[in-house]
Structure 1
């Protein structure tokens, strides 16, 4: 039995380093729960790709898409990666992606506390966005379902004028990298405090991955 965390990948080395820390945090509990070894694979940029790991898996594999918002990758790249991971004859089970779960908001709370801020502070969550608009809708639905007073969401693809004013700006990204730094630049341009770091470096996201695998 094998667990695979399927990540997007980034040309920025900080991305893979952050996700490796997450993998290490969940590997022990998953092994103790009988889920076997835990691996990271990447859709692009980083190593290894799914087709390198797949031929060596012959039993059962649980795949966790490490995506906060649905987009092209969820619709196209994830199914292709799952097929590659089953190339050795393994039966592949795909969990829901990380998006939409309230533990992501708990992860934001952790980032705020780590930066010395009250989680009740007015906050702006900024995701990357997508051409279809699904990314923005996903993060808005999460906050609508679990409202926080003074919190707003937006995407880099569809910025909201004045949204950062009077708010702490938090990147809705799992790891530091290109998108994370673009959110930092947005905060600086608006004179707003920026909360650095990826959500994958939180206890809440580790719990979320375990929840996705173990149900």
Structure 2
């Protein structure tokens, strides 16, 4: 009989406790859907770290990154942690860009008082990785399709234009972050200082995000990599 895999999610991690709870809630909801044992882990700033979780068990493991785009962590840190696992471990792709995330962003915007089609800026953490920039451009395209109007992109670090240079008075702002923390607070402050009319909350443990995490885990299991 095949052994059911263990699900390990990995989020970036933040010093803000409520932000880390988003990853834990997504993991719990996904595990309930799939009927799997699950553990939440982090890249940094919060324990348990992914490398420690993977070393702690010889059980076959699917690793689903709770990251919105490709970048250094996904291309360097996470593969290194998987390589040091105590048993067979298989790494999935980032959550974004994906239409399900765009749907969740639209709901957060509407909840913040924005109306579809109004001028919109998507604010992301940013990265120095050009692949992450391409992912952000694609995420903006998906959001524009769901929103029914053009979307401009601003970043808080790395490549790209800054919030204060992109957001105009009267714009709506979609916070392209999974959880609260330093970047979320900075995005909201800069957007409001620039005159944004509505600033959406982070995406959070939205049901569409749970759907997406389930898909990512199923893709690894369904590929037959674990023989389940």
Instruction: Tell me which residue corresponds to 2:139.
Output: 142
1:91–1:105: structure 2 CA closer, same or farther, 3 Å change rule?
same
- The residue correspondences of 1:79-158 to structure 2 (distance < 5 A) are 79-84=79-84, 86-87=85-86, 90-144=87-141, 147-148=144-145, 149-157=149-157, 158=161
More displaced stretch, 102-111 vs 18-27? 18-27
Superposition deviation, residue 170 in structure 1: 1.8
Normalised by the length of structure 1, the TM-score is: 0.87
- The residue correspondences of 1:1-150 to structure 2 (distance < 5 A) are 1-31=5-35, 36-84=36-84, 86-87=85-86, 90-144=87-141, 147-148=144-145, 149-150=149-150
Superposition deviation, residue 167 in structure 1: 1.7
Q: Once superposed, which parts of structure 1, at least 4 consecutive aligned residues long, lie more than 4 Å away?
A: none
Partner Cα distance (1:198, 1:159) in 2: 18
Superposition deviation, residue 196 in structure 1: 4.3
Normalised by the length of structure 2, the TM-score is: 0.82
Kept after mapping to 1: 8 A contact 2:70/2:135: yes
Can you list the C-alpha shifts for 1:68-126, whole angstroms capped at 9, x where unaligned?
12222112111122224x22xx2112111111211110110121233243344332111
- SS of the residue 1:140 aligns to: helix
Superposition deviation, residue 55 in structure 1: 3.4
Partner Cα distance (1:7, 1:110) in 2: 22
Instruction: Tell me which residue corresponds to 1:159.
Output: 162
Superposition deviation, residue 146 in structure 1: 6.1
For structure 2, the 5+ residue unaligned runs are: 220-228
1:19–1:189: structure 2 CA closer, same or farther, 3 Å change rule?
same
Kept after mapping to 2: 8 A contact 1:111/1:202: no
Kept after mapping to 1: 8 A contact 2:14/2:181: yes
- SS of the residue 2:94 aligns to: coil
RMSD: 2.0
Kept after mapping to 2: 8 A contact 1:136/1:154: no
Partner Cα distance (2:29, 2:184) in 1: 22
For structure 1, the 5+ residue unaligned runs are: none
